[in-house]
Structure 1
Amino acid sequence: MKNWLLPLKTLAFTAVLGALVFSCEKDDPSDIDNDLQGDPLKETFELAKTWNDVQLGVERFTPGYRPPIAARTLGYTGLAAYEAIVNGMSDKYNSFDGYFKGLDIPEPNSGEEYHWPTVLNATYARAITHFYPTAPAAQLFNVYSTEQDYNEKFRLDVPNAVYVRSQDFGRLVADAVFNWSRTDKEGDGAFLRTSDPNYVPPGGVGKWKPTFPDFSPALLPHWGKVRTFVADATDVCPEPLAYSTDPNSEIYKQALEPFNLVNQIKAGTGNAATEHWIADFWSDDCATLTFTPAGRFIAVATQLIEKEDLSLGEAVELYARVGMGLADAGIRSWHQKFTYNYQRPIDYIRQVMPNASNWNSVMCPDGSGRYFTPPFPAYPSGHATFGAVAAEIFSNVLGENYQFTDRCHEGRTEFIGKPRTFTSFRQMAEENAYSRLPIGVHFRMDATSGVSLGYGIGKKVNKLPWRK
């Protein structure tokens, strides 16, 4: 099941005995035992889980962190966390120092001791503070208090010199990754400029334009220029279906699908209950209501990490893989969106289908009674691309035929968040992609091509030299 996982449950008795010889004040570095440096492959996943939960909360409430920006940030913070502790893991693991052009990761001092959980704690806190400078005060307080809670524990566990050295190193790694991220000028600070007032969508029949009811300007029309980790110009989608108003055309038939599904949901007929459940379950469209569609798959990763009881090192690696894949999924799907500029179903249906001039989606169940369509072209689906890249990475790590239940929104009452169970990650990805049809914002071709695009990017992430 765990294709790359190392043995986890070892030396418990030795660890207990070692803990007994530790005093509350640690001043002599020679006192620290190798088993008490916080070996990331022996420590539990809890530290990484806590920080990823914190980051999803920060993402949720910070203005401007829409899906592609949120995904890019998850990629960089995930990479920073991985680089922070890779030197404390087995020598089978590789650093990406120098692998990515311009990335210069500091090295720990030769022959000196580090407490790797302290390193990681400092890295997460510093990185999140760097990448979310406009976060609300409540979210920043959560970052600072989380860091302090762990620091109070760690400073009792290790010699003071090791504790201070570890904190300093963690911050240096976070600074190095953040500084590298800033050399990508198109992506840096994008949360402050999510639209371009000078951008004019290309005109023409069947082309995208701002949609009812809010007619918001294009979101991140230049995002395709952002630097990727592994994806490149070969990660593209086939030409979308030709635009046609002919009822016998393929695009007309594809428009009928969201049209009929939404009407069914609104009328409560047919299979409305299940279709509405799927639409709501995967939405993640309303800012502050949930995390973003990209952040969703960090939340899924957390559930898998808990289910498999991964070590700290394994958890950090999985978060890094998924985050970097999500970043590239956002960049390449947005590149293709603004290459083809394909019209959304709402405009096609209103303009072409009889007696449908008032038709609308059922996206964004926030209780306002107003429904929306995302402010960017339809083809391909970003939702589908995010889900597929995550599915490809999860499949590589845990196996193709892996059954799990997604409980991301269990207990939510604003929408249908009842858990859903899948027999494989590909089934998960394909349902996530399909969910954009009953919610009324995509054609089937958007979902199909987005899934294909995401699988390809996920394969490239898996081929990175994570291991020697």
Structure 2
Amino acid sequence: MKSLFQKLLIATIASFLGFGCGQNKDYQNAISDGSYQIAAQDKLTTVIINDIFSPPVASRIYAYSSLAAYEVTALSDPNYQSLMGQLNGFEKTEFDTTGQIYYPLASLAAYYKVATALIFSENLMTEHRDKAYADLLEKGIPDEVFERSIKLGDEVGAYVIAYFKKDNYHESRSFEKYTVSNDPGTWQPTPPAYMEGIEPHWNKIRPFVLDSAAQYKTIPGTEFSTDPSSQFYKEAEEVFKIVNELNEDQKDIAMFWDCNPYKVNVKGHVMFAEKKITPGGHWMGIAAISSKTAGQDWKGTSETLVFTSIAIFDAFIACWDEKYRSRLIRPETYINRYIDEDWLPLLQTPPFPEYTSGHSVASNAAAEALTSLFGEPFHFVDSTEVNYGLPVREFDSFRQAADEAAISRLYGGIHYMPAIVNGSTKGKSIGNHLVENVKTKSPSFSPMAENKK
């Protein structure tokens, strides 16, 4: 069988014969901005949706893939600091960087290497990779530089793969499934699919920066009660009334931030899934959009994607820790039992406990990470959901977007306010912890000097 390089070389020779000598081109400009890495991430998002990964698992896929790409960035430029020694269990090592290496390509190779190792539909990712490689070869990258760059990317990717294999994910696949309790205040599977609780042991996954899943433990939610005069009943009634009285803008907000990869539709006797982007995938899309909006080069894009993905990854670990500690009943179940048996939320209830809101935690963690990189205000047009039939929305800051994502869960009828408010607080703490403890820029880095290049 021909190697990947041999296949791509044949394609290059064919291009050479038809169009002239591509290797006379200035290949150093073949990758200048982050478009190739963003395209790879877009493809990864498509595969994540296709393979129906849960929001926590999807956050893991984005994070390790982005980490591999970024570590090549750190090798390429002393202005960027490696995350080795900064992330839990990510020990320092050395890579052979002798000879001429085209680092943007090596970074891309590292991304594809790790992403492909974390998904089911590997062929979809490798096909996308091969097309990108063929395109870059046509832009004149010398054969020996191409080979050396791919080799470095694969080596960095392999090191990251060895790293993620120790995060307890594999072991967690054999842990016990969630057992539904008969306690009236605890979470119960919800219609129409009545799926079992997703990832009940996600708090056992090693975080990147947090010292444990419970480092920013959320304050207890409102005490469960069925008494109409109780605070808990009033919070459920608030959800009930708001969903019944939603205006068009509130409905649009709820739908825009739905991001439920488990949505199941029922028509007659037929039940089928509607594939959607995850909450983390939405924010990784925002990170990519922001990178393009700011005109970042490939190195800045790499930094943006890894910093955002780490925030989201740790956010899901911390959020899921609380979800399966409190195991709180969802509004849909409570309202059907104690207020109106025919009531339905606007959005389909996700298959895991209510407290705290995953959107609130992850969105605010991501917003703090992105704000640290781009500042505030920062205007961007969020077109992440266009491919899924929804219009764009515009924001003047990441925090504004996070606030909207959080409140969307009330409009959707799937969270009480304490899960949103306390979840947002938790997410901000996680994001700020990342900003304070992980540095991607070297102390001598000057943004003003970088912008003048």
Greater helix content:
2
1: distance between equivalents of 2:98 and 2:305? 29
What are the equivalent positions in structure 2 for 1:8-157 lying under 5 Å apart? 24-25=22-23, 43-63=32-52, 65-89=53-77, 91-104=78-91, 107-132=94-119, 134-135=120-121, 140-155=122-137, 157=140
2:351 equivalent to 1:375 = yes
Establish whether residue 243 from structure 1 lines up as the match of residue 224 from structure 2. yes
Output the amino acid matched with 2:369.
I
C-alpha displacement of 1:245: 2.3
1:12-38: per-residue Cα shift (whole Å, max 9, x none)?
xxxxxxxxxx96458xxxxx9xx9656
CA distance in 1, matches of 2:28, 2:391: 41
* 1:7 corresponds to: none
Give the structure 1 partner of residue 292 of structure 2: 306
Distance, in Å, in 2 between the alignment partners of 1:128 and 1:110 is 23
Superposition TM-score, scaled by structure 2 size:
0.84
Alpha-carbon distance in structure 2 between the residues aligned to 1:102 and 1:328: 14
Given the two structures, how large is their TM-score scaled by the length of structure 1? 0.81
Distance in structure 2 (CA, Å) of the matches to 1:99 and 1:79? 12
CA distance in 2, matches of 1:100, 1:411: 34
* Paired AA for residue 94 in structure 1: Q
CA distance in 2, matches of 1:98, 1:219: 32
Secondary structure at 1:343 match in 2 = coil
Compared with structure 1, are the counterparts of its residues 96 and 62 closer, same or farther at alpha carbon in structure 2 (3 Å cutoff)? same
Q: Shift of residue 421 of structure 1?
A: 2.2
User: Residues 105 and 174 from structure 1, CA distance in 2 versus in 1: closer, same or farther, beyond 3 angstroms?
Assistant: farther
CA distance in 2 between counterparts of 1:375 and 1:83 reads: 35
| 1:169 aligns to 2:148 (yes or no) | no
Flag structure 2 segments of 5+ consecutive residues without an equivalent. 1-19, 263-273, 443-453
Amino acid at match of 2:441: R
What corresponds to 2:270 in structure 1? none
Q: Is the 8 A contact 1:106 1:173 kept in 2?
A: no
Match of 2:346 in 1: 362
Distance 1:234 1:381, change over 3 A: same
Native 8 Å contact 1:105 1:177 kept in 2? no
Tell me if the contact between 2:88 and 2:207 (Cα under 8 Å) persists in the aligned partners: no
User: What does residue 400 of structure 2 align with?
Assistant: 427
Partner Cα distance (1:106, 1:153) in 2: 32
Instruction: Identify which of 169, 176, 190 aligns with 1:211.
Output: 190
Say whether the 8 Å CA contact 1:240–1:445 is kept in structure 2.
Answer: yes
Q: SS at the partner of 1:421?
A: strand
Contact kept, 8 Å, 2:312 with 2:366, in 1: the verdict is yes
Residue 466 of structure 1 aligns with an amino acid whose one-letter code is: T
Distance 1:98 1:325 in 2: 17
Q: For the Cα contact (< 8 Å) 1:282–1:432, is it kept in 2?
A: yes
Aligned identity (percent) is 27
One-letter code of the match for 2:149?
Answer: S
Q: Deviations over 1:132-157 (max 9, x none)?
A: 1x22xxxx444223322232243353
With 380-389 and 203-212 compared, the bigger mean Cα shift is at 203-212
Deviation at 1:47, TM superposition (A): 1.2
The number of residue pairs the alignment matches comes to 408
Partners of 1:308 and 1:100 lie apart in 2 by: 27
After superposition, the C-alpha distances for 1:306-356 in whole angstroms (9 at most, x for unaligned) are 211111000010000111111111111000111111111112212222xx0
Distance across 1 between alignment mates of 2:167 and 2:176: 18
Gaps of 5+ in 1: 1-21, 27-31, 266-270, 364-371
After TM superposition, the structure 1 stretch with the greater mean CA deviation from structure 2, 248-257 or 72-81, is 248-257
Residue identity opposite 1:310 in structure 2: Q
- Go from structure 1 to structure 2 and tell me whether the alpha carbon gap of 1:411 and 1:97 turns closer, same or farther (over 3 Å shift): closer
Q: CA deviation at 1:58?
A: 0.8
Matches of 2:239 and 2:123 in 1, distance apart? Answer: 43
Would you say 1:457 and 2:430 are equivalent positions? yes
Q: What is the DSSP-based 3-state SS (H/G/I as helix, E as strand, rest coil) of the residue aligned with 1:436?
A: helix
Q: What is the one-letter code of the residue matched to 1:45?
A: G
Q: Say whether 1:467 aligns with 2:450.
A: no
Q: Deviations over 1:275-303 (max 9, x none)?
A: 21111111011445321111100111121
Displacement after TM superposition at 1:94 (Å): 1.0
CA distance in 2, matches of 1:380, 1:121: 36
Tell me what 2:450 maps to.
Answer: none
**2:254 counterpart letter in structure 1:** A
Deviation at 1:224, TM superposition (A): 1.0
- Verify the 8 A CA contact 1:406 1:421 in the aligned structure 2: yes
- Distance (Å, rounded) in 1 between the aligned partners of 2:155 and 2:421: 42
Which residue of 2 is the match for residue 179 of structure 1?
A: 162
Secondary structure at 2:208 match in 1:
coil
Please tell me the root mean square deviation across aligned C-alpha atoms, in Å: 2.4
Q: Which residue of structure 1 lines up, in the alignment, with residue 283 of structure 2?
A: 297
Contact 1:322–1:390 (CA<8 Å) still a contact in 2?
A: yes
Letter in 1 for 2:297: S
- Selected match of 2:235 from 243, 248, 254: 254
Which residue pairs with 1:5 in the alignment? none
Write the distance in 1 (CA, Å) between the matches of 2:131 and 2:385: 27
- Cα distance, 1:410 vs structure 2: 3.0
- The more displaced of 322-331 and 96-105 is 96-105
For residues 158 and 430 of structure 2, the distance between their equivalents in structure 1, rounded to whole angstroms, comes to 27
SS of the residue 2:144 aligns to = helix
* Distance in structure 1 (CA, Å) of the matches to 2:224 and 2:363: 27
Is contact 1:228-1:327 (8 Å) kept?
A: yes
Contact 2:49 2:261 in 1 (8 A): no
- What SS is found at the alignment partner of 1:405? strand
Give 1:213 shift: 3.2
Q: Map 1:379-418 onto structure 2 (within 5 A).
A: 379-410=355-386, 412-413=388-389, 417-418=390-391
Structure 1 equivalent of residue 326 of structure 2: 340
> Partners in 1 of 2:222 and 2:313 — Cα distance?
27
Cα distance in 1 between the residues matched to 2:356 and 2:103: 41
Q: Which amino acid aligns with 1:455?
A: K
Name the counterpart of 1:436. 409
Return closer, same or farther for 1:114/1:382 CA change in 2, 3 Å cut-off: same
- SS of residue in 2 equivalent to 1:350: helix
Q: Is the 8 A contact 1:261 1:275 kept in 2?
A: no
1:446 pairs with one of 406, 419, 432: 419
The equivalent residue for 1:275 is: 250
- Report the Cα offset of residue 76 of structure 1: 0.8
